[in-house]
């Protein structure tokens, strides 16, 4: 049976996503078989990236391919069992990681309420999440929900995968949440919208889509969308990453970095990294009349 070796370290960075997309391209050549992922050389695999691996597994189901893991460390098995990626009894297990687990979930496109509940329960309710007003918390939830909305309206996908992980021992302490769909890419949607006047490469398409007021939704001139969560991430000294087609877009430390992947990812990955060492309290400047100039 075919076997694919997993690299020594797979994290939420350009190199990590490059490896995951490469794994998909190796897998897609097979059908009607079981592929083993060999973790014998792996020393670090960030649990939030189970969302990407889960989406890849869904794609491979269409080729009647099953995915199995071999030589996985006991510590990684423990974490991926507790977050629900491995097995089905994780809800009955005690969390011995002091609330660090953010569960792996696969949402159908019509499970709006379930997704919103997941964000409130698994993210905003964390005791170490940066302190904020109730209304700002609502706006953050709405902004993250925009990722879900984009996946089903633009991506036209059936499922949205999500997973997270809290890393309290990192410096700074951080929580990553990764949301993945395997549908139409941002690159295709933006170019279809601008055709025939303008053509964007994958990176520039993501950069266009992230800006306030830009939307490919017919009849809309824009909305808060991802721009609010990006503004929060800037103040929080966090990180945001978006991967779609072969485009890699990242905001980190007051800088936007764009790069091109060697292979295309057939969908969109959004990873949001919150800085949990942030002691500030956040609220909207005007919680009565919200405008874009009045966000914080």
pLDDT of residue 285: 77
pLDDT of residue 97: 46
pLDDT of residue 96: 44
pLDDT of residue 223: 36
Query: Which residues of the chain are modeled with pLDDT < 70?
Result: 87-99, 155, 212-225, 286-296
pLDDT of residue 286: 65
Kindly state the percentage of the chain with pLDDT values over 90: 64
Quote the number of domains for the chain. Answer: 1
pLDDT of residue 221: 37
Q: What does the chain look like in DSSP terms, one character per residue? A: --EEEPPSEE-SSHHHHHHHHHHHHHHTT--SEEEEEE-TT-SEE-GGGHHHHHHHHHHHHTTTEEEEEES--HHHHHHHHHTTSS-S-GGGS--TTTT-EEEEEEEETT-HHHHHHHHIIIIIT-TTSPEE-HHHHHHHHHHHHHHHHHHHHTS--SEEEEEEEEETTSSS-EEEEEEEE-SS-HHHHHHHHHTTT----HHHHHHHHHSTT---STT----SHHHHHHHHHHHHT-EEEEEEEEEEEEEETTEEEEEEEEEEEEEEEEEEEEETT---EE--S-SSS--GGG--
pLDDT of residue 215: 65
pTM: 0.90
Residue ranges making up the domain that contains 186: 3-294
pLDDT of residue 157: 81
pLDDT of residue 224: 37
pLDDT of residue 94: 39
pLDDT of residue 146: 87
pLDDT of residue 195: 76
């Amino acid at each position: 049976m075919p076997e694919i070796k997993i690299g020594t370290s797979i994290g939420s960075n350009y190199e990590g996503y490059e490896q995951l997309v490469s794994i998909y391209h190796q897998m897609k050549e097979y059908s009607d078989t079981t592929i083993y992922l060999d973790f014998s050389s792996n020393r670090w695999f960030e649990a939030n990236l189970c969302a990407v691996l889960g989406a890849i597994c869904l794609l491979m189901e269409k080729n009647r391919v099953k995915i199995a893991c071999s030589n996985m460390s006991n510590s990684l098995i423990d974490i991926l069992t507790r977050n629900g990626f491995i097995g089905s009894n994780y809800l009955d297990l005690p969390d011995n990681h002091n609330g660090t687990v953010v569960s792996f979930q696969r949402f159908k496109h019509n499970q709006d309420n379930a997704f919103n509940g997941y964000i409130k329960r698994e993210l905003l309710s964390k005791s170490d999440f940066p302190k904020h007003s109730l209304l700002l918390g609502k706006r953050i939830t709405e902004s993250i929900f925009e990722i879900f909305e984009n996946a089903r309206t633009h991506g036209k996908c059936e499922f949205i995968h999500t997973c997270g992980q809290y890393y309290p021992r990192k410096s700074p302490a951080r929580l990553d949440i990764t949301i993945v769909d395997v549908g139409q890419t941002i690159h295709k949607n933006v170019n279809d919208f601008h055709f025939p006047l303008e053509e964007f490469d994958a990176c520039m398409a993501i950069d266009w889509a992230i800006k306030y007021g830009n939307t490919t939704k017919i009849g809309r001139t824009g909305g808060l969308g991802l721009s609010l969560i990006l503004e929060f991430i800037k103040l929080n000294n966090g990180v945001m990453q978006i991967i779609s087609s072969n485009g890699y877009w990242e905001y980190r430390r007051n800088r936007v970095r764009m790069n091109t992947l060697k292979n295309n990812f057939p969908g969109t990955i959004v990873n949001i990294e919150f800085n949990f060492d942030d002691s500030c309290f956040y609220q909207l400047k005007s919680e009565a009349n919200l405008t874009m100039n009045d966000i914080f």
